Amino acid sequence: PPKHPRDCLPIVPMTMSLEFIAEAAALLCPGLGVIGYENVKAMRWIGLEERLRILLHVDAQVVAHDETTGETRVDVSISFQDKRAFAGRVVLGTQYRQDLQMEWPDLSDLPGWPIPIEDCYVGRRMFHGPSFHVMTRLDHFSNPIATGTLRVLPKDQLFGGLPEPALLVDPCLLDGIGQFVGLWCQ
């Protein structure tokens, strides 16, 4: 592993870009909260190597408002170094959907994961820094089901000089879901 931060190739995680586009959309729709994303595309890394600050160009436009559901859709794109890096549609509303039906299968006969949780971060199966180490347990593993436990971490180390950021989504927890799925796919 690298011995110094300058030996790493730090990048902005995709889930931080999700937070950035949510922030832009919320500025256009005061009073509404983020209830979803659509058509998300990550085109290139937003690199942080040897920089204390970076300039991102963010474009946002309201593209639809549904009077029946109260949902508003905002298309947002992020450019970095004059190239499009990330884009997506943010769905905002006054309340979360209440009509979701979740069904959970019987998990009693599923085997455990073939790797221990300790190998995920320490063993470098995941490249994420400590602020994104949200997986705490890997329980059941099979196809098409895997289970585990994620934790919510403090956000005081995400932005220098901003110990209590007011985030619209939890980019670290969202990233943890991606980490979990990525391990399961391996």
What local confidence, expressed as pLDDT, does residue 95 receive? 84
User: Left if phi > 0, otherwise alpha if psi is -120 to 50, otherwise beta: which for 50?
Assistant: left
Lowest mean pLDDT, pick from 25-29, 40-44, 54-58, 97-101: 97-101
Give residue 120's pLDDT: 87
Could you tell me the two tokens for 137?
């347990």
- Report the chain's C-alpha Rg in angstroms: 19
**Phi, psi for 169 (deg, rounded to 5):** -130, 170
Residue 124 DSSP class: T
Give CA–CA dist 125/164, Å, rounded.
30
pLDDT value of residue 37: 95
Report pLDDT for 36. Answer: 93
Distance CA 128, CA 158 (A): 13
Q: What is the pLDDT of residue 35?
A: 94
Span 170-179, pLDDT tens digits: 999 999 999 8
Q: What is the mean pLDDT of the chain?
A: 87
pTM equals: 0.80
Q: Which pLDDT does position 92 carry in this prediction? A: 96
Q: What is the pLDDT of residues 111-153, one digit of tens each?
A: 888 888 888 888 777 777 888 899 999 998 888 888 899 999 9
